[in-house]
Structure 1
Amino acid sequence: MKKSLMYLLLASFTILFSCGGNDDDPITDPPASESSWKLGSYSYNRGASSQGNSGGLGGMTVTTSGDGGNHGAYSGSSLTVVFQASLGAGKYTLTSSSVMSANPTVRYMALTCAVGTAVTSGAVSYAATATSGGTADVTIDANGKYHVHITTPVTLQKTLVTGGGIPGAPDTYNLTVNNAY
C-alpha cells in the first residue's frame, strides 16, 4: 500500500510539473543544448521543462521535443525529479520516493527517467531505488530555478512499462545529467 502511494505521489508530481507550462526567460536561461542527460548510450537534450513546489516538495519535469533524439524505439525521454524543497541547494542522495518521503529532513531525491516518449509503440520508465546510491547536485539560479547535475553515473531500475514498452529494454540503465532545469 505504501509503495503504491509513493508511485501515485510521483505520478502526481509528473503531471503537476509537466502541465505547469514553460516560463523560461530566454535572456537568462542557458540554451537547451546545455541541458542534457544520458541513459545508457542514448543522449537527450532538453526541449521543455516545468518546475514547482507543492506540499513541501520541489521538483521538475524535463522533456525532449520533436523526435527526442531520433533513437528509434528509444526516441523521446523525460526526467522527473522530486526532493524536499526546504533543504535548498546541495548534494542529494538518489533513492526511492518512499525513502525520501519517510526522511523529510535528509537530502534525498527521487528520480524517474522515461524513454520512448516520442514514439507510439510504448515507453519504459526507470527510477532510482532505495539502493541506487549515487548523488545529484542541486543548485538554484538567480531566478529561483533548480538545476540538477549527476556527473557520476547512477544505476536506475526498470519500474514501469506502458503501451507495450520497448522490446529488449534492459532491467537497469546508468544515468548522468548535465544541468537539467
Structure 2
Amino acid sequence: MIDQSTDHTDNTGATDFAARLRDRGYRLTAQRQLILRAVERLGHATPDEVLEAVHEEASAINVSTVYRTLEVLEELGLVRHTHLGDRAPTYHSTVEGEHFHLVCRNCGRVTSAHPEVADGLVKRLEAELGFVADIGHLAVFGRCVDCESDPIGHEHGHEHGEGH
C-alpha cells in the first residue's frame, strides 16, 4: 500500500513548493495551494472533481484556473496525470510515490500498484524492444477481485479511489 502521510504543503513542504515555483518563474498563490491540497486529498481526481473540492473553500476559482494550475503543478513534478477511461485526465499527487493504476471495468475502482509489480513487463520491453516504459501513466483495465468473484457480475458499491 502507498503511504499518503506526506504533504507538500506542510511547513517545510510549502517552502519547497514556493522555491520550485519561483525557480520556474511562478508565484506561490493561494489558488495554487488550494488546488494542490485538493489533489492530495482526493487521491485520483479529474479537473472537475478538483474544482468541486476547491469550491468548498474558494468559490471564485474557475475550471480554466484549475486546468492551468494542474499543468504548472505537473511541470514542477508535484502531480502526474493518467487516463483512466473515457473521462478527462485524472491527476494524482507525486507524494504517493511512483505507481500505476488498476481500473475495474465493472465497478470503476482504481487501485494503485507499486512499480515493482510490473518489473517483468518493464524489463522485457526494454530488453526485447529497446523501449523504456514510463509506467506512471499506465492504467491496466480488468476486473477487481471482488467483481471477479461475483459469478453474476453485479456492480459492487465501491467508491472510486484507492481500493484493495
Larger radius of gyration: 2
**Structure 2-normalised TM-score?**
0.28
Whichever structure has more strand as a proportion of its residues is: 1
**Structure 1-normalised TM-score?**
0.26
